[in-house]
Chain A
Amino acid sequence: MVLMFKLTNKTLVLALILLLPGFALADDFVPQAITVSQNPRTFYELSLEFLYQGGFHIAIGWDHLAFIFCLCVLAPNIKSLILTISAFTIGHSISMALAFLGWVNFPIAPIEVIIAMSIVLMAREAWMRIEHPNKQDSILKLNIVVVAFGLIHGLGFASALSAVGVLAEERVVALVFFNLGVEFGQIMFVLLISAIIAMFSRIGIAMYFTKTMLIISGSIGCFWALQRFSGF
């Protein structure tokens, strides 16, 4: 525990501080899987359906995309990027499975606020990394923070998955393929952002693009946090 605390940076501490009042303020919880009255679908139908749902959720989930964009900027090289994205995947896969299967139960409203704040904090971290390239935290520290935020984002994914409507016997398959859909969407987005940054690097405007996108991500994150907090 002490080791964990030493490893964490200011960002993680701030995130944890945000967690506590959030849980106290909300009374609505991440909904459990809705059991719908229909015939069980075949494995093929189910896998396709939830692969699509996962991909679709990422495609319209601007908050998750903004967070992933910050991760793309934070990672100094491809190896770090793969590690960081994997850390996020590990975090959200664990919490999504736990929440969706009903093993943990968290209030969704503060989770949504924290997801928004995670974008703000990651956008700040990315900005600082650009501004002060010599004052960088280790990749390990970064990935611990990313896993922590991944856990929070996973609760958001679980909420979205529960809203789709799944029969009790379909839950595991739905969970696996929804997660795969999310991963696929994430990878596509990372490839797209990497391609755009590479393209802008060639004409020397990558830095402007990155900084502009970080300001937009951070500001929209603040907006989402205020909006979601006001909805409590």
Chain B
Amino acid sequence: MAKVFFVRVFRDPLFIFLVLGACVFTVYEFQAYNSRPLIKLDAVTRAKLIQEHEAITGKQANLQTIAKLEREYLIESVFFHELIKQEFHLKDPKTRANLIDYMYLHITSQIPPINEEDLLTHYAENIKNYYSPETRSFEHVFFEELPLNHDTLLRNLREQKAANGQVFLHGNVFNQVSEGIVQGIFGEQFASDLFASEAKDWVGPIESRHGYHFINTRQIHAPRVQSFQQALNAVRNDFLEQQQTSAIEDKFNELISGFDVQIDQ
């Protein structure tokens, strides 16, 4: 009776499915078990943890403290693995930004040290970038409000007659100032008008962020090339930036082949 029962059970396809399924499951679980990430707390790490603890607290770590430090290390390691598994590093914008910054730093830190020969070569190859900008020397007469007789004032100034303006905080004469400096003091529109004006001719009134000005460009100083020593800081910064951009591009080109890129409009 029992024999018949067992024969029926063994011959039932359900038994075969179950045995095979259980075998596959066992192999799968065994493989999954062996591929579990290893969290290792070695002697060097333990010594570092103890050293840090003692440096912070000023006390020698006893056995209980060491056990606590080990426990904390394991908790943090497990949580870290779980964070990566759940792809928090992709979901959390702050973590993502930190990791990207770290990657940039990692790539650019591998750039070899800069020597003067490289800088000289860069200076020679990019000499057009090391011209000092055009500057102007000019004088101006300032009014807080638009003067009613501004046409008469302009005529007088052109005829070398005196025109008594108001006191201007930064002075009435500027020597060899660049457009950027003028922009910083007077505003963008004023700088643009000044640098468009002809030399040795009074023009105005021109509005600035302070009021109204009659200006006379005394001299236009054309751009001139800076010596290597004068441009050294700029050359160093430009060369470093070029090296960094190049290193980042190289790394990007190396990695991009492993991705499919889809750019939606």
The interface of chain A, by Cβ under 8 A from chain B, is 120, 123-124, 127-128, 214-215, 218-223, 225-227, 230
Contacts of B168 in A (CB 8 A): none
Contacts of B13 in A (CB 8 A): 123-124, 127-128, 214-215, 218
Q: Is the CB of A219 within 8 A of B21?
A: yes
Please report the C-alpha to C-alpha distance between residue A215 and residue B29 in the assembled complex, in whole angstroms: 21
Contact of B17 among A128, A221, A227, A230 (CB under 8 A): A221
15 A-B residue pairings within 8 Å (CB atoms): A120-B18, A123-B13, A124-B17, A214-B13, A215-B16, A215-B20, A218-B20, A218-B21, A219-B24, A221-B21, A222-B17, A223-B24, A223-B25, A226-B21, A226-B22
Q: In this assembly, does B12 line the interface, its C-beta being within 8 Å of a C-beta of chain A?
A: yes
Q: Are A227 and B12 CB-contacts (below 8 A) given A124-B17, A222-B20?
A: no
Report the minimal beta-carbon distance from A64 to chain B, rounded to whole angstroms: 18
Inter-chain CA distance A26–B224, complex, in Å, is: 79
A223 touching B16 by the CB < 8 A rule?
no
Complex CA gap A225/B14 in Å reads: 13
Q: Which residues of A contact B16 (CB under 8 A)?
A: 215, 218-219
Inter-chain contact A124/B25, CB cutoff 8 Å? no
Residues of A within 8 A of B24 (CB): 219-220, 222-223
- Interface residue tally for chain B (C-beta within 8 Å): 13
Instruction: State whether the Cβ of B174 lies closer than 8 Å to any Cβ in chain A.
Output: no
A222's partner among B12, B18, B29 (CB-CB below 8 A) is: B18
CA distance A220 to B27 in the complex (A): 13
Residues on A with beta carbons closer than 8 Å to the beta carbon of B18: 120, 222
How far is it, in angstroms, between the C-alpha of A226 and the C-alpha of B16 when the chains are bound?
Answer: 15
Instruction: Please judge, given known A-B contacts A124-B12, A226-B22, whether A219 and B28 are in contact too, CB under 8 Å.
Output: no
Q: Which B164-203 residues sit within 8 Å CB-CB of chain A? A: none
Task: Tell me how far the C-beta of A25 lies from the nearest C-beta in chain B, rounded to whole angstroms.
Answer: 18
Do A123 and B22 form a contact, CB below 8 Å, given A223-B28, A227-B28?
no
Minimal beta-carbon separation of A38 from chain B (angstroms): 13
- Are B21 and A225 in contact, with the CB atoms below 8 A? yes
Are the CB atoms of A226 and B25 closer together than 8 Å?
A: yes
Fill in one digit per residue for B31-66: 1 if any A CB lies within 8 Å of its CB, else 0.
Answer: 000000000000000000000000000000000000
Question: Given A124-B12, A223-B28, are A215 and B17 also a contact pair (CB < 8 Å)?
Answer: yes
List of 3 A-B pairs having minimum Cβ-Cβ separation, nearest first: A222-B21, A218-B17, A219-B20
Tell me how far the C-beta of A104 lies from the nearest C-beta in chain B, rounded to whole angstroms.
30
**B-side contacts of A223, CB under 8 Å:** 21-22, 24-25, 28
Chain A residue nearest to B29 (CB atoms) is A230
A13 to chain B, nearest CB (A): 14
What residues on B are CB-neighbors of A226 within 8 Å? Answer: 21-22, 25
CB distance from A12 to the nearest CB of B (A): 15
CB distance from B35 to the nearest CB of A (A): 15
Q: When the two chains form their complex, are residues A123 and B25 in contact, meaning their CB atoms are under 8 A apart?
A: no
- B22's partner among A215, A221, A222 (CB-CB below 8 A) is A222
CB distance from B86 to the nearest CB of A (A): 16
Assembly CA distance A124 to B17 (angstroms):
8
* Contacting pair B14 A218 (CB below 8 A): yes
| Chain A residues within 8 Å of B21, by CB | 120, 218-223, 225-226
Inter-chain CA distance A115–B29, complex, in Å, is: 21
Q: In chain B, what residue has the closest Cβ to A123?
A: B17
Nearest CB of B to A227, in Å: 6
| Inter-chain contacts of A214 with B (CB < 8 A) | 13
Cα separation A218 to B12 with both chains bound (whole Å):
12
Contacts of B17 in A (CB 8 A): 120, 123-124, 215, 218-219, 221-222
Residues on the B chain within 8 Å of A123, using CB: 13, 17
Complex CA gap A214/B16 in Å reads 11
